[in-house]
């Protein structure tokens, strides 16, 4: 079993795949929000780079919704890349899956001239300085109409907010466990594996405050920066290089339907893992 430097292990990859449908708040809605925010028409030609693609659910939904899109999907986990390759094989040359180490700069050439950079639940593995450097590197390399969209944990700035994030994450996970499986077993696994960062902080997880990240995005040169969605400490935020918006982009309803279909396909039989053991 391999381990990425100082952070995510392959047993984390296995466990995450097992619990993500229940443990990620409103996962399909988050995916749909990310795709709805892309400033491209469904038939337009554009190129996106995904940082930390995991098993490829967001990539699959993006490629299904945008017939002219090409995507480079990067992930440090061989297990995740293998799952993503199985899931995305149907898209042929429209998708490339490559290894990367988020904290290095060796992969930055993938970003050159890209129209979009997206990332879900990955960038909190960087510290504050590394995030700032990455935001600048992305802004410099994106095309003039480019967009950088992040879905990630954010760091609360007050203990009251931490308490709220912790409680609302537990609550939504329990509700999703019951709704998806008719049982609380998945929720109990979420508790037992200490997945709730706001109750069980882990040094490999280094979310930064949302306000700081919006400030860094602005300082990096993005014309429009904002937070677009937030639930239980999980936020969707980012920056657009251009101030002018696009019309005829993907509808949220279509994106949500596509995301729900991809989320309901669980073709793999994965062994149980325990992140904290």
Ligand X SMILES: C[S@@+](CC[C@H](N)C(=O)[O-])C[C@H]1O[C@@H](n2cnc3c(N)ncnc32)[C@H](O)[C@@H]1O
Question: Can you give the binding site for ligand X, defined by CB under 6 A?
Answer: 4, 7-8, 13, 16, 20, 52-54, 57, 75-77, 80, 100-103, 120-122, 125
The least distance separating ligand X from the CB of residue 198, rounded to whole angstroms, comes to 15
Of the pair 4, 255, the CB lying nearest ligand X is at 4
Nearer to ligand X, 128 or 224 (CB): 128
Closest approach of ligand X to the CB of residue 99, in Å: 8
Least CB distance to ligand X at residue 247 (A): 28
Secondary structure (H, E, C), the chain:
CCECCCCCEHHHHHHHHHHHHHHCCCHHHHHHHHHHCCCCCCCCCEEEEEECCCCCHHHHHHHHHCCCEEEEEEECCHHHHHHHHHHHHHHHHHEEEEECCCCCCCCHHHHCCCCEEEEECCHHHCCHHHHHHHHHHHHHHCCCCCEEEEEEECCCCCHHHHHHHHHHHHHHHHHHHHHHHCCCHHHHHHHHCCCCCCCCCCCCCCCCCHHHHHHHHHHHCCCEEEEEEEECCEEEEEEECCCCCCCCCCCHHHHHHHHHHHHHCCCCCCCCCCCCC
DSSP bridge partners of 50: 73, 118
CB of 270 to ligand X, least distance (A): 14
Which CB, 25 or 52, lies closer to ligand X?
52
Pairing of strands 234-240, 224-231: antiparallel
* β-bridge partners, 75: 99
| Least gap, CB of 230 to ligand X (angstroms) | 16
Nearer to ligand X, 8 or 222 (CB): 8
To the nearest whole angstrom, how small is the minimum distance from the Cβ of residue 7 to ligand X? 5
List all residues 6 or more positions away from 202 whose beta carbon is below 8 Å from its beta carbon.
194
Minimum CB distance to ligand X, residue 158 (Å): 25
Of 165 and 245, the one with the shorter C-beta distance to ligand X is: 165
């Amino acid at each position: 079993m391999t381990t990425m430097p100082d952070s995510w292990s392959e047993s984390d990859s296995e466990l995450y795949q097992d619990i993500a449908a229940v443990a990620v708040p409103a996962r399909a809605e988050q995916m749909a929000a990310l795709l709805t925010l892309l400033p491209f028409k469904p038939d337009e030609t554009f190129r996106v780079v995904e940082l930390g693609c995991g098993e490829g659910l967001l990539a699959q939904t993006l490629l299904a919704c945008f017939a002219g899109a090409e995507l480079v999907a990067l992930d440090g986990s061989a297990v995740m890349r293998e799952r993503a390759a199985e899931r995305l094989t149907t898209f042929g040359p429209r998708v490339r899956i490559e290894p990367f180490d988020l904290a290095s700069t060796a992969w930055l050439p993938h970003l050159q001239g890209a129209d979009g950079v997206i990332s879900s639940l990955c960038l909190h593995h960087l510290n504050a300085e590394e995030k700032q450097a990455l935001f600048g590197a992305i802004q410099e390399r994106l095309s003039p109409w480019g967009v950088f969209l992040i879905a990630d944990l954010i760091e609360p700035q007050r203990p009251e907010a931490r308490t709220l994030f912790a409680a609302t994450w537990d609550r939504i996970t329990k509700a999703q466990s019951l709704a998806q499986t008719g049982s609380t077993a998945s929720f109990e696994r979420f508790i037992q594996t200490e997945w709730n960062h706001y109750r069980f902080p882990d040094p490999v997880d280094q979310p930064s405050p949302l306000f700081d990240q919006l400030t860094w995005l602005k300082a990096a040169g993005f014309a429009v920066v904002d937070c677009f969605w937030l639930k239980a400490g999980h936020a969707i935020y980012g920056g657009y290089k251009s101030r002018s918006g696009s019309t005829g982009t993907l509808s949220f309803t279509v994106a949500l339907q596509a995301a729900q279909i991809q989320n309901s396909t669980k073709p793999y039989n994965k062994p149980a893992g325990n992140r904290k053991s």
